[in-house]
């Protein structure tokens, strides 16, 4: 019967196909879907960590050093800083000044600033041994670049990001450090720094011209310290690497935002967010938490310098975008791709 | 009762989970249940990121202020879900079960296959957007189903399931129940075609079944503690009877409900139960405590 023969042939073919398929799947279980070359899932952002203050000790006049312990902490490179979430919710940034090889603790130092924004006062008054703090990062926007020679200028507490750099410099590379401060007693880590040669310590207003007199053009210059000091160094060396924790002049105040695609420019007042200002022009702008954690309002930044206040974006994402619900401009003007 | 999502303004909740103490088989002694639920961590990070991506584009089509607010809240919640599940993946890797080969494919699925295609502006682009909006509505039918299931899955507690993982699932499930009407309302608002609803349901259902069984098989085969790990429909059916996974019958019965012309998500699950859980979720409270800075 031809009919029976057809059915048998089809059944046989189906059986063979099924077997071939099974063998194929066994050989490579994830066949046949392609994969994304650079997967996005499973590589989370820097998470908030909860670390315990293991030690709290004064290291100079008005300066305390905190050692925060945890386990298996994320790695960091010299120049990196942490975001510390203080008990009141204030977020402040502190340079890591310990040993990058130590994966069980982070060390930071903070100076009590009388007229500061309250963050340092809170550290000095409320943080004690045993207190648990939320920490984000570490992030590095002050990385040590490869150069033939280095010049460091540190003012007071500004020594903190530079200290791990000095320890990490390769053997034999040429470097000099100018460490200045109000008085010797107010300069943290002075003893350790002075043990190194090639260090100039100055009290009071430093004589930058004398220090920079014979600096080669190829030297990488790093400066961290009070605003005045950084401005003075930047004047002599426009390519200087600066680490700034007190926000620039425009921050906190009003600034301008240009929305390039929609061709509009608006002013963000000091007491309002970029998001609020943008929503007046573009009501369809997506947002949700308004606290910088959900990432809904992320926008591409085309021009301008951003002061990131979110707790979500990675360094790579921060390079070209911002969360407009909380982050603000560091420059006077931002250009967004929206 | 109290199916009045309109009285609950949707908002992303801050959560914080710590995975250090969660074992590989977080339903003790039951790798199949563990891994079948673990598939969520494979699909959701990319999937919910895709929801957010699509919904951001659909905002300009919404002509109803309240719905717009809901969609915006929905976007924020989905963004948080995606992040929370994403954070489980490195933990699985630490436990010796690297999910990347699979998640890289899921990433491709959502970012390339279902991503923005190079279409001319106008009808084609709108068609593709509406198609995806409808697919999301269909998927949300299942996320609400699963959310409602996990909120009531007391059998998992009885089996000693890891409390952190249960909290992740229930926090997520509760928010899915809370916002279960948004995706469907949005679809009805911007398109609402019945043929499209059926077509996209078929697509979404097929894709879910395909990706889920594949994910479960992937986990079972690659689990370092299992010598001959296999996933089977029988195992699913047995766990469904026992109550550690959704019952097969319940899953089948949910199909005609979505396809019914009188379907509305508010008929499924209870907002009150969801909101009650959210108020007491340990993860939400941990995040709140962290915000206040108390240990």
The predicted-structure confidence for A216-272, as pLDDT tens digits, reads as follows 778 889 999 888 888 888 888 888 888 876 543 334 578 999 999 999 999 998 888
Share of residues in chain A with pLDDT > 70 (%): 94
Q: What is the pLDDT of residue A40?
A: 85
Which whole number is the average pLDDT over A309-326? 85
The predicted-structure confidence for B5-18, as pLDDT tens digits, reads as follows 445 678 888 888 88
Per-window interface: A 196-255 vs B, CB < 8 A: none
Q: Is B230 on the interface with A (CB under 8 A)?
A: no
Does residue B290 surpass a pLDDT of 70? no
Chain B residue numbers with beta carbons less than 8 Å from the beta carbon of A68 are none
Does residue A303 surpass a pLDDT of 50? yes
Which whole number is the average pLDDT over B93-116? 94
- Name the residue with higher pLDDT: B289 or A126: A126
Q: What is the pLDDT of residue B212?
A: 95
* Contact residues for A73 (Cβ-Cβ < 8 A; gap 6+): A49, A51, A103, A104, A105, A106
Does residue A185 surpass a pLDDT of 80? yes
Residue B2 lies in a domain: no
CB A69, CB A56: distance < 8 Å: no
Q: Is B221 on the interface with A (CB under 8 A)?
A: yes
Q: Is B295 on the interface with A (CB under 8 A)?
A: yes
Q: Is B223 helix (H, G, I), strand (E, B) or coil?
A: coil
Residue B12 lies in a domain: no
Mean pLDDT of chain A: 85
Please enumerate, as own/partner, the contacts of A110-119 that have beta carbons within 8 Å and a separation of 24 or more: A110/A63, A110/A64, A110/A66, A110/A157, A111/A62, A111/A63, A111/A156, A111/A157, A111/A188, A112/A62, A112/A63, A112/A64, A116/A246, A117/A90, A118/A88, A118/A90, A119/A86, A119/A90, A119/A92
B111 with A86: Cβ contact below 8 A: no
pTM for the whole thing?
Answer: 0.73
**Residue among B152, B202, B207, B213 at smallest CA distance from B177:** B152
Number of folded domains that form chain B: 1
Closest Cβ–Cβ partner in B60, B221, B295 for A284: B60
B89 with A41: Cβ contact below 8 A: yes
Residue B226 lies in a domain: yes
Task: Report how many Cβ contacts below 8 Å link chain A to chain B.
Answer: 121
Shortest alpha-carbon distance between residue A32 and chain B (Å):
10
Residue B7 lies in a domain: no
Per-window interface: B 80-119 vs A, CB < 8 A: 80, 83, 86-87, 89-90, 93, 99-109, 111-112
Helices B31-58, B123-151: axis angle to 10 degrees equals: 140
Residue B16 lies in a domain: no
Residue B249 lies in a domain: yes
Domain hosting residue B59, numbered range? 25-292
**Which domains, from first to last, does chain A contain?**
49-139 (2.40.30.10), 149-243 (3.40.50.80), 255-336 (3.10.20.30)
A33 with B294: Cβ contact below 8 A: no
Query: What ipTM was estimated for this complex?
Result: 0.81
Q: What is the pLDDT of residue A122?
A: 80
A41 with B45: Cβ contact below 8 A: yes
Does residue A51 surpass a pLDDT of 80? yes
Chain B residue numbers with beta carbons less than 8 Å from the beta carbon of A134 are 290, 293
Q: Is A42 on the interface with B (CB under 8 A)?
A: yes
Q: How far is CA A56 from CA A103, A129, A184, B102, B223, in A?
A: 19, 6, 21, 46, 44
Residue B135 lies in a domain: yes
Residue B61 lies in a domain: yes
B101 with A284: Cβ contact below 8 A: no
């Amino acid at each position: 019967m031809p009919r029976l023969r057809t059915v048998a042939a089809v059944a046989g073919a189906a059986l063979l196909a099924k077997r071939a398929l099974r063998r194929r799947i066994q050989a490579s279980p994830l066949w046949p879907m392609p994969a994304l070359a650079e997967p996005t899932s499973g590589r989370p952002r820097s998470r908030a960590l909860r670390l315990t203050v293991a030690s709290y000790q004064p290291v100079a006049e008005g300066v305390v050093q905190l050692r925060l312990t945890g386990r298996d902490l994320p790695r960091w490179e010299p120049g990196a800083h942490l975001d510390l979430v203080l008990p009141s919710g204030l977020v402040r940034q502190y340079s890591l000044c310990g040993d990058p090889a130590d994966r069980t603790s982070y060390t930071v130092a903070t100076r009590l600033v009388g007229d500061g924004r309250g963050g340092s006062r809170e550290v000095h008054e409320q943080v004690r041994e045993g207190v648990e703090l939320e920490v984000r990062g570490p992030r590095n926007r002050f990385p040590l670049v490869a150069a033939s020679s280095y010049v460091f200028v540190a003012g007071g507490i500004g020594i903190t990001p530079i200290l791990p750099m000095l320890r990490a410099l390769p053997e034999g590379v040429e470097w000099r450090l100018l460490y200045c401060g109000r008085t010797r007693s107010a300069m943290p880590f002075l003893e350790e720094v002075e043990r190194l040669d090639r260090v100039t310590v100055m009290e009071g207003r430093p004589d930058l011209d004398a220090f920079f007199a014979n600096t080669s053009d190829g030297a990488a210059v790093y400066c961290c310290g009070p605003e005045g000091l950084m401005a003075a160094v930047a004047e002599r060396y426009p390519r200087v690497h600066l680490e700034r924790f007190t926000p620039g002049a425009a921050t906190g105040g009003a600034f301008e935002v240009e929305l390039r695609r929609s061709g509009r420019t608006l002013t963000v007042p000091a007491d309002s967010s970029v998001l609020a200002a943008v929503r007046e022009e573009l009501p369809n702008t997506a947002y949700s938490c308004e606290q910088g954690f959900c990432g809904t309002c992320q926008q591409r930044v085309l021009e301008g310098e951003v002061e990131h206040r979110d707790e979500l974006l990675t360094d790579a994402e921060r390079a070209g975008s911002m969360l407009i619900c909380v982050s603000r401009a560091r420059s006077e003007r931002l250009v967004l791709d929206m | 009762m109290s199916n009045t999502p309109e009285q609950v303004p949707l908002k992303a909740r801050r959560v914080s989970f710590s995975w250090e103490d969660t074992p590989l088989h977080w339903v003790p002694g039951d790798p199949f249940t563990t891994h079948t639920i673990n598939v969520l961590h494979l699909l959701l990070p990319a999937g919910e990121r895709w929801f957010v991506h699509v919904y951001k584009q659909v905002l300009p089509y919404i002509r109803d202020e309240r719905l717009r607010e809901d969609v915006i809240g929905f976007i924020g919640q989905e963004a948080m879900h995606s992040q929370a599940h994403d954070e489980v993946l490195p933990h699985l890797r630490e436990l010796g079960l690297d999910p990347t080969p699979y998640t890289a494919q899921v990433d491709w699925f959502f970012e390339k296959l279902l991503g923005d295609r190079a279409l001319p502006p106008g009808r084609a682009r709108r068609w593709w957007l509406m198609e995806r909006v409808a697919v999301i509505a269909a998927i949300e039918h299942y996320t609400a189903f699963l959310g409602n299931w996990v909120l009531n899955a007391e059998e998992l507690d009885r089996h000693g399931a890891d409390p952190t993982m249960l909290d992740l699932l229930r926090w997520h499930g509760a928010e899915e129940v809370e916002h279960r009407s948004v995706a469907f309302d949005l679809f009805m608002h911007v398109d609402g075609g019945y043929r499209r609803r059926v077509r996209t349901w078929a697509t979404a259902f097929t894709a879910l079944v395909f990706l889920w069984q594949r994910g479960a098989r992937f986990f079972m085969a690659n689990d370092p503690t299992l010598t001959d790990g296999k996933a089977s429909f029988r195992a699913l059916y047995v766990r469904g009877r026992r109550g550690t996974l959704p019952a097969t019958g319940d899953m089948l019965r949910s199909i005609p409900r979505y396809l019914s012309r009188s379907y509305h998500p508010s008929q499924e699950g209870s907002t009150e139960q969801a909101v009650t859980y959210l108020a007491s979720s340990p993860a939400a409270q941990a995040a709140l405590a962290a915000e206040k800075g108390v240990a």
